[in-house]
């Protein structure tokens, strides 16, 4: 059992190092919400597997299927914009990192993790679908995606950067 835990922690550490930061650019509010939703989904998935709460996770997935699909598409689109052809592998690495980090939290203190997960399932399952992004954002683990939200200043700076002028060829 100890070797199994050590292997999981080592694998999680390597995966999180390989995944790197979530995004190479800042994200807008809807992309940040999509990331927070994915963090919440990963946390609940690990709780289902670690704490025997598969029934609660299935209820979560059924109740919020539309929101999960919508935010999942938004997340995929954000990674495609940020990384082009590497968007899909980068997204997969991101999702893996989130699951590994949630797993590390569960291993570090299962006596706290499982009761907290049960409380979270209770809150989530009593949340209207439109309010789920707000619940996701309120969780202490929601910032684990490491993405920075674009501000008006960042947007202004990005739009003021001009491409270098090219010389016209003389004939």
Residue 67: closest CA among 150, 145, 134: 134
Two structure tokens written together for 12: 């999680």
Q: What is the DSSP letter of 170?
A: P
Answer yes or no: are the C-beta atoms of 33 and 128 closer than 8 Å.
no
> For residues 50 and 158, which has the higher predicted lDDT (pLDDT)?
50
DSSP codes joined into one string, 28-60: -HHHHHHHHHHHHHHHHHHHHHHHT-HHHHHHH
**pLDDT confidence of residue 11:** 41
The DSSP element (H or E) to which 11 belongs, if any, is: helix 2-19
DSSP codes joined into one string, 77-127: HHHHHHHGGGHHHHHHHHHHHHHHHHHHHHHH-HHHHHHHHHHHHHHHHTS
**pLDDT confidence of residue 140:** 83
Query: ∠ CA(146), CA(147), CA(150), 5° rounding?
Result: 150
CA distance 126 to 114: 18
**pLDDT confidence of residue 152:** 55
**80, 85, 86, 150 from 76: Cα distances, Å:** 6, 12, 11, 18
**pLDDT confidence of residue 168:** 42
* Ranges of each domain in the chain: 19-139
The pLDDT tens digits of the residues spanning 88-145 come to 999 999 999 999 999 999 999 989 999 999 999 999 999 999 999 999 999 888 766 6
Radius of gyration for the alpha carbons in the chain, expressed in angstroms and rounded: 19
The pLDDT tens digits of the residues spanning 3-56 come to 444 444 444 444 443 444 445 567 788 898 999 999 999 999 999 999 999 999
The pTM of the full predicted model, rounded to 2 decimals, is 0.73
CA 104 to chain centre: 15
**pLDDT confidence of residue 132:** 96
């Amino acid at each position: 059992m100890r070797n199994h835990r050590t292997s999981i922690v080592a694998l999680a550490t390597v995966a999180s190092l390989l995944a790197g930061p979530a995004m190479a650019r800042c994200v807008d509010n809807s992309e940040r919400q999509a990331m927070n939703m994915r963090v919440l989904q990963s946390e609940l998935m690990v709780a289902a597997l670690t704490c025997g709460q598969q029934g609660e996770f299935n209820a979560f997935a059924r109740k919020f299927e539309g929101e999960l699909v919508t935010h999942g598409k938004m997340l995929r689109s954000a990674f495609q914009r940020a990384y082009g052809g590497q968007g899909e592998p980068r997204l997969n690495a991101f999702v893996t990192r989130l699951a590994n980090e949630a797993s590390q939290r569960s291993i570090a203190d299962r006596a706290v993790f499982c009761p907290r997960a049960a409380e979270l399932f209770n809150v989530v399952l009593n949340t209207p679908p439109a309010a789920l992004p707000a619940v996701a954002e309120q969780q202490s683990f929601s910032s684990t995606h490491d993405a920075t939200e674009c501000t008006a200043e960042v947007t202004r700076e990005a739009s003021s950067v001009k491409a270098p002028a090219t010389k016209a060829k003389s004939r």
